[in-house]
Structure 1
Amino acid sequence: MRRLLLALGLGLAAVAWIVRDIPAALGGKARGDRAARVQRSPQFRDGAFHNRAHTAQIVPEAGRDMVRELMFGGQRRTPAGPVPLVSPAAPTDDGLFLTWYGHGTTLVEIDGARVLFDPVWSERVSPSRLVGPRRLHPMPQPLSEVPDVDAVVISHDHYDHLDLATVRALVETRTAPFVVPLGVGAHLERWQVPAERIIELDWEESTEIAGVRLTATAAQHFSGRAFTRDDTLWASWVVAGPSRRVFYTGDSGYFDGYAEIGALHGPFDASLVQVGAYAPGWPDIHMTPEEGVAAHVDLDGGLLIPVHWATFKLAMHGWSEPAERVWAESKARDVALAIPRPGERIDVDNPPQVDPWWQTLA
């Protein structure tokens, strides 16, 4: 009887959690003034946001190819041992430093300001804590120990970039505003983020915080957390201080907009470039490592820091393949490159030589 009651209690707790948290994780829908602003965007037409060029999100052969790779591919999709972590160094008020926590989550210290990109501290990137892609390595630092930041910037609303639990923790423990693409504020509003802490921008719109200018720029991707697609905007980001500049691609396919962004907002001291989670079945929405290097060159991007790899299994390629390929392409194109371990703080003015730490785990 005791076991039956325990099982019943656990089942009821699971049902209560599903009823409470999963609908909230799906986010909100823009209404009122927010919806009106969405509809005025040059990127919005026929009820959805659009890329500047036509993009095929998934080609018809993608499912078949993924099954074949899963069954017969020889890739090691998980590391052979623990991913080496670095305890992040204490911040300073001068210089330019980038601390990569894993996937897209990166702290940028620039001209005395601190900007946190796409913070995700949850174990899974999913509306559920029970299923969905799980971390391949722990976060190198608890969120409670991350230094205070001046702004939290979100690239788009996919679960691996916009995380409900992390947003709730930041609302409770920090005062920084959330700077997001158009429409994403509806999710934050549902999650009890105060209206005065939500700043929504269209492409080529800016806001100034702590002496640095944050500008939303074009990307080639898509959005959606539930059953509808593209009702919120996706973006790349420029962080421009009085003397230094950093670019973050967010998630994007390779497109000619990078040269335009570089001409308008560059050159950059460093760029954080998505190089992982690519596949032949979706060539337009995620870059390969070689395309990531090409985007960096188009941007006049300074020091290249590859992101969006090593943390979650989101594609069929090998776990370490993005690092190996971006390293080779950067050498071929004479591009300055740093590939940090999760938690490693990179001094952009004195970057370390590339140490192929991932090779022992391949």
Structure 2
Amino acid sequence: MVREREQDACPGALQVHQAADGGLVRVRLPGGMLTAGQLIALADAATRYGSSTLELTSRGSVQLRGITDEKSVADLVAGAGLLPSPTHERARNIVSSPLSGRVGGHLDVRPWVHQLDAAICADPALAGLPGRFWISLDDGTGDVSGLRADLGVHALDDRTVALLLSGTDTGIRLDHADVMTTLTAVARRFVDVRGNSWRISELDDPTEVLDDLTVTAEPGRTWPVRTKGPIGWLEQDDGRVALGAGVPLGVLPARTAEFVAAIDAPIVITPWRSLLVCDLDEGVADVSLRVLAPQGLVFDVNSPWLDVSACVGSPGCERSAADVRADATDAVAAGDVAGTRRHYVGCERACGSPSIGEVLIATADGYHRRDRAR
């Protein structure tokens, strides 16, 4: 695939995109993991210098909109420990099984998240990864392998993982000791051969990034796409509780984020624009649920809010033909979304479209349907 625009304009914490409503900052969160203090810092940045909201992305990152003071935001992000390498900050796109080490799975991939993040930041060549390139670490539950990241591993048991390209099993098997070196080597190979490509799937021959790795199993397996993250009261394997909260349209008010942070527990932003508050005693979980539910967070797995998403639309995007978030909200209120995965977008670019479900594209003549996302 040859792109007309060679420069990767994907926003970061330092490379700020100028949208119709002001500066847009995207803060990468490897594995979606946040401390309470880090969430407070992001909420503070959004309140003091932005739109007073945090946008959760489909890769477990956080966006801040309407930024009026880019340097102050960058200082807050760095001070919270969310900017370990200014040269690599857009390359730190790592998603992992959100409940890994807490519920199910063959192994806990959280240490791998930290190791991979450190390895990426330590390799000067990997600063050349496009901002859209991402890596998945699946603990065997199959939750993030189905998201079809450019590169990934999927735990087959407690000793062996499958190497994936674009969510498809390559037939290459790795021992745990070889995971980090293999992932970084494949990523470097992509940087070497990518040309103007931003994704592995855009290469004429994606397998060229595998170089001399040996196939030892039948390739081609894929995993189903999950459309919802873990929601509600979730019993952890250690007897404690995690709370899974849906965030309507992925827009988390800064004030609500402060309530979440006040629980003072580990937080995970999931690739389904939801969040987890983990490692809670039952009493704390019960009180937290009673406090957070009235804030608009969704704890009902059957809620229609979990079936609908939207790009920013008007007035945040100058290309948009409609206020798609308002229209999506009206559709939920009218009961038009239940049981249907639907994404509203303001133009043909269809930003943020999921890989399954219907996409409604706003035009001057109303919405028209694209049956499957591109």
Measured against the shorter chain, the TM-score band is under 0.3
Indicate the structure whose relative CO is greater, using CA pairs within 8 Å and at least 6 residues apart. 1
In the superposition, the TM-score normalised over structure 2's length comes to 0.26
In the superposition, the TM-score normalised over structure 1's length comes to 0.26
